[in-house]
Chain A
Amino acid sequence: MPKYLIERDIPNAGNLTADQLKSISQTSCAVLEDLGTQIQWQHSYVTENKIYCVYIAPNKTLVKEHAKQGGFPANLISEVASIIDPITAE
């Protein structure tokens, strides 16, 4: 199953409170539940004005659908070809 990295431009995302992040996560999970088991949210890196999300999904369309239904921006959706780390150098 392909993995996707999604860039979501959200001004001042870094200032979201824990309660706001929880609420956003609940919205996301509710939409995911509706969309079935093929799409999964792994984790997201919250930065000042952008959230980078890592998803597993059968295709880009389903990632877009999740964003649409949840009301989240999805400015760039890229399929992850591989994940590398310091072990890749060995």
Chain B
Amino acid sequence: MKTLKIIFLFLWVVTLTSCTNNTKDTHEAELIAQLEVQVSQLEAENLALAQVKPETLSPNMNMYVIEREIPALGDWPAEDLKGASQTSCGVLKEMGSEIKWLHSYVTGDKMYCVYLAANEEMVREHAKKGGFPANEINSVGTIISPETAE
């Protein structure tokens, strides 16, 4: 549906652009600018979804949810979270393109991290090098959402 919306909006923008060339109407130009913003937003959303949907991944990458037990994690200030993120990114850079950190949910005593990686071993290696716990590593088969019910 999102792809269709993008195509539709794109065609609309193209049509309006050609009209504007003839009329030089400023109102239409504003409308075009607004629509262009909408198109880029939808494209960004699509990109974000493509990054998390396992079926769109390269066959060499799997998605993992990693549970890291860290007591009182929920009390960490922003600068500590930034420091941990920097350590993580530093290790990831060393390890190359076969492992990627998508995002992490920070809760009271546990961090849930979502990674893409070639295999579970790489996830363990990243944790070891970064000094992070990896109490449980689970491979994601699929992601479901309210859309799955339709």
Contact = CB atoms under 8 A, between A and B. Distances in A.
Dominant SS at the B interface? strand
A54 to B, nearest CB: 7
Interface in A33-90: 41-50, 52, 54, 78-86, 88-89
Given A22-B148, A78-B110, A89 B86 contact: yes
Contact of B108 (A48, A78, A84, A85): A78
Contacts, number: 101
A45 B142 CA distance: 6
Contacts of B141: 13-14, 46-48
Question: What size tier do the contact residues of chain A reach?
Answer: 35 or more
B65 A89 contact: no
Nearest to A51: B144
Kindly state the interface size class of chain B when it binds its partner. Answer: 35 or more
Given A13-B141, A44-B144, A89-B82, 15 more contacts: A3-B105, A25-B145, A28-B146, A28-B149, A43-B143, A43-B144, A46-B141, A47-B139, A50-B138, A78-B107, A82-B106, A83-B105, A85-B102, A86-B89, A86-B92
Interface of B: 63, 65, 73-74, 81-82, 84-86, 88-89, 92, 101-110, 112, 114, 138-146, 148-149
